[in-house]
A = this chain, B = another copy of it.
Amino acid sequence: MATTASASDDWDGAPLPSMVNPALLRETPATQRGARRRSELIAAARKVFERSGYLDARLTDITKEAKCSTGSFYTYFKNKEEIFAAVLEVAQQEMLHPGMGRLPDSGDPYAVMEASNRAYLEAYRRNAKLMALLEQVATVDQTFRELRRRRGEAFIHRNARGIADLQKRGIADPDLDPMLASRALSGMVSRFAFSVFVRGVDHPVDFDEIVYTVTRIWANGLRFPGHR
């Protein structure tokens, strides 16, 4: 059982195969040189986006960073939106690499929860800049707003199933609606991560303490019995 997202497939907890709408992507370049150029542009775009934000990033900033002409940009992407989708796509593939796959389902639900939260928070921290970007883009672009929403909902549904399971096994507060509880708790974790890793807080916070806190509140919140 995994009540939170595993870091292995995404940051926002979604188990869906692709982070981005494939409709946003065009066919891959024919030649090897083309593939390289495309990659360079994506890398440059990520750099520029993280440096200046999505809105302030000009296409010429990206091509300058990639050391190529304006025209080349349009060989591979239709516009800023499309290259941003590509940046997300690549970032997601990178995330898959570290592997670790599914979390081992030890007998102890609390331990599972903790490991799962840790993995999620680590991924979030690693990709904090990209998360901030996604947040910005979502406020601006309908496509990505919808993307974020869908994935958030997927996350919540999955965790809701976990909670319902715990309730059946008699180890979670039966008076809570699983969907609403999941919405609250899942949101708690992602918001915590955002506030700490992206927005920044007054005083630095120890990473282990974060994991401990969200896990304990999660457990408390569901009235997990017998821990401590």
Footprint of B on A, CB under 8 Å?
A: 53, 55, 132, 135-136, 139-140, 145, 149, 152-153, 173, 175-177, 180-181, 183-185, 187-188, 190-192, 195-196, 199-202, 205, 209-210, 213-214, 216-217, 220-223, 228
Is there an interface contact between A202 and B153, defined as CB atoms closer than 8 Å? yes
- Which of B132, B139, B185, B187 sits near A135, CB closer than 8 Å? B139
Contacts of A216 in B (CB 8 A): 173, 175-176
Q: List 5 A-B contacts (CB under 8 A).
A: A149-B199, A149-B200, A175-B228, A180-B209, A184-B217
- Which of B153, B195, B202, B223 sits near A187, CB closer than 8 Å? B195
- Which of B145, B177, B205, B223 sits near A220, CB closer than 8 Å? B223
Contacts of A176 in B (CB 8 A): 213, 216-217
User: In the bound complex, what is the Cα–Cα distance between A221 and B224 (angstroms)?
Assistant: 10
Chain B min CB distance to A154 (Å): 10
Chain B min CB distance to A164 (Å): 15
